[in-house]
Amino acid sequence: MNALRPLGRVEDTFERLNRLATTWTIATVSCFEGALTVELLHRAMAIACARHPRLNCRIVGEPGRLHFATGGEVLLRVTPAREPEDWRAVVEAELNEPIAAELGLIRVHLVPGPASTGLTRLITVTHHAISDGLSCMHLHRDLLTCCGYLALGETPPVLAPLPALPPIEGLAPEHFGGLKYWLRGWWFLLKTGCVLLRHQPTGLPIEKYAPIKARRTGLLTRVLEADFTRTLVRRCRFEKTSVQAALSAALLIAVARRVDPVRERTVRLTGQSYLNLRRFLTPPLSNDHLAPLASASRHSYTVTPTTDFWELARQIKQDLEVTLQNGDLFTIVGVTWPMFKFLFLFPRQRAFSTSVSNVGRVEIPDRYGPFVLRQIGFASSHGLLNGVLAANVATFQDTMTINFNYSMPALSRQTIEVVADSAVAQLLVAVRESCLQTSG
């Protein structure tokens, strides 16, 4: 497959968003023990670029005529942290800095921590047109693998070059192509529009309106320790639901509690879940491929003062399974731009209430020569999505990292801290009660 091809529908949409919504990127952060030099990272990036063809590309042209071109640059930055938590400000700043796609599609930021911590953070910022959260985790594995060998003075193993993929629609199952696929897409749009008009999604109250170009992405991180994460996974299996659905339920209930703190009324919310498309493609693809291979499922829910956590989680899981069975995950691929265009036509409109992107258990090593990986997670540009609270979730070595993203100034950090803590509390209470019922 020629790497220098026109952008597919999703890729084209993401570059339009990159231009119109200031930025549309994914920031991935790995935290590891050990001091990494710029020279080693630069050499490792060269090896990674040889493996992942899109890292060598840039995007040129006008909307509707966008295509990948050669000559993409990799911008490498270094910002030593004076305090242990200084890296958080670096990540948030990177999420809000536009990526100049005509020059390159990735930035790399090395943040050595204070000597007292012995920790270093590696941040990559990739254009969403060439990546998703899961593939970025594996990109970090490739980089750390090379850095580990180089730090020991050894030659890194040859990383097999991956082919340049066609767009998602070129990998979708055959029966999602042609006129039937086109008609199905527009029917899906019409149906979604009718539901949106009939049931306007509520959500966290907008604290201050700003035009799209003036919005910024906020970032808040919460970490669930390994013991609790393992227990959560077990209880989700016992309750016949999934971790993805449980996270979505926790977020919906937390938002409903903020909307109706006295718990006197029914709150109708719309939750969106992102799902990995790789195993549904033809042929199925591994997690190594750097590409935007995810889609979304969106459903409305009513949260009442008596809503049962596990019942809501089971309902969410069932809705996700229906979406997978009826093929709507691929239908959305064809109408991505019209769905986002609605937000530019009606900038005060809330697209949905919450979203959860959970890549699950990140199956990569923790040791890379002298470097020991302690934590890895990702966050996404979110400024466009007015009033929406998003959770980007990754589990490594049984520790779950939840990065909450939100649009500022529509939502303040103080509000998100309260809601994020409420969502975590919902998980803690639900797991504890489930365990008590079993033991009782």
Tens-place pLDDT, residues 310-329: 999 999 999 999 988 887 77
Tell me if the pTM is above 0.85: yes
φ/ψ of residue 112, rounded to 5: -65, 130
d(CA 266, CA 154): 62
Among the residues of 260-388, which ranges form H helices? 309-326, 328-334, 336-345
Residue 196 parent element (H or E) = helix 178-198
Angle of helix 413-439 relative to helix 226-238, nearest 10 degrees, comes to 60
The model's pLDDT over 225-253, given as tens digits with 9 standing for 90+, comes to 999 999 999 999 999 999 999 999 999 99
Mean of per-residue pLDDT scores for the chain: 92
Q: Structure tokens of 181?
A: 């696929």
Which pLDDT score is estimated for 178?
62
Q: Structure tokens of 303?
A: 């949260």
Residues of CATH 3.30.559.10 domain(s) within the chain? 9-151
What number is the average pLDDT over the span 365-374? 97
What number is the average pLDDT over the span 180-195? 67
The model's pLDDT over 267-303, given as tens digits with 9 standing for 90+, comes to 999 999 999 999 988 889 999 999 999 998 888 999 9
**Residue written as tokens 């890292």?**
55
d(CA 429, CA 435): 10
The model's pLDDT over 48-85, given as tens digits with 9 standing for 90+, comes to 999 999 999 999 998 889 999 999 999 999 999 999 99
Residues of CATH 3.30.559.30 domain(s) within the chain? 168-358+384-439
The amino acid at 361: R
For 111, how many CA atoms within 13 A lie in the half-sphere containing its CB? 23
* Check whether domain 168-358+384-439 has CATH 3.30.559.30, yes or no: yes
d(CA 416, CA 221): 10
Which string of b and e fits 101-121 if b means at least 16 CB within 10 Å?
beebbbbbbbbbbeeeeebbb
Q: Does residue 392 contact residue 357 with C-beta atoms inside 8 Å?
A: yes
Q: Does residue 144 contact residue 121 with C-beta atoms inside 8 Å?
A: no
What number of residues does the chain have? 440
d(CA 93, CA 91): 5
Question: Superfamily for 9-151?
Answer: Chloramphenicol acetyltransferase-like domain (3.30.559.10)
User: Which pLDDT band holds residue 1 (cuts at 50, 70, 90)?
Assistant: very low
User: Which pLDDT band holds residue 197 (cuts at 50, 70, 90)?
Assistant: low
